[in-house]
A = this chain, B = another copy of it.
Amino acid sequence: MNVLKARILKEGRNLGNGILKVDGFLNHQIDPVLIDACGRELASRFVSARATKVLTAEISGIAPALSTAFHLGVPVVYARRERPVTMPDQVLLTVAPSHTKRHPTELIVSPEYLVARDRVLIVDDFLATGQTILGLARLARAAGATLVGIGAVIEKAFEEGRRTLAACDVPIESLAIVTRMSEGEIELA
């Protein structure tokens, strides 16, 4: 997706240790037009998967997942990190190691909104180590739902998430693939 790749190369910053700063358009300040284009593209790549629901994790997955869901015409559910008072006592919960937060975080979904008949497309902002997405896949399985695909805006190929997620046995799509980050550089596939 050329518009996204151009934006990463122009505005992204390599902060070292594999940390890619893209908070000017993706995960603090958001460019709504770019996100809409990303959602439209992810939706088009997964249209044959016949998803009934998009699943993501708060916080920064919400924008691309919402846009993808809009273009697919299905609801989106975002896993919470804390159980709000509006959620039932019995929930779907899994623990995922977090690369950026440096401590494991909980992923919580209400069983009201993830059910056995759902065909689930997971969408997140980053595919890095794959641990958050793997956690979301466990939630879908716990609900008895069928995972039908995994989509990410930016993949950091060198963190091997695609290999981690191979066991899910579903199509994986990312809109920009970072192949290498060294000495302040950002290399895209």
Contacts and interface: CB of A to CB of B under 8 A. Distances in A.
A32 B70 contact: yes
A140 interface: no
8 contacts: A15-B86, A23-B84, A28-B78, A28-B109, A32-B66, A32-B73, A33-B73, A63-B66
Contact of A75 (B32, B59, B74): B32
Given A73-B33, A77-B29, A24 B113 contact: yes
Interface string A85-107: 11100000000000010000000
Given A23-B110, A24-B113, A84-B100, A66 B15 contact: no
Copies in the complex: 2
Contacts of A31: 75
A150 interface: no
Q: Which of A19, A36, A59 has most chain B Cβ within 10 Å?
A: A59
A69 interface: yes
Interface residues of A, number: 39
Given A28-B113, A77-B28, A77-B29, A19 B66 contact: no
Contacts of A85: 15, 19, 100
Nearest to A13: B86
A29 to B, nearest CB: 4
A23 B87 CA distance: 8
Contacts of A66: 30, 32, 35, 63, 66
A148 interface: no
A76 B21 contact: no
A58 interface: yes
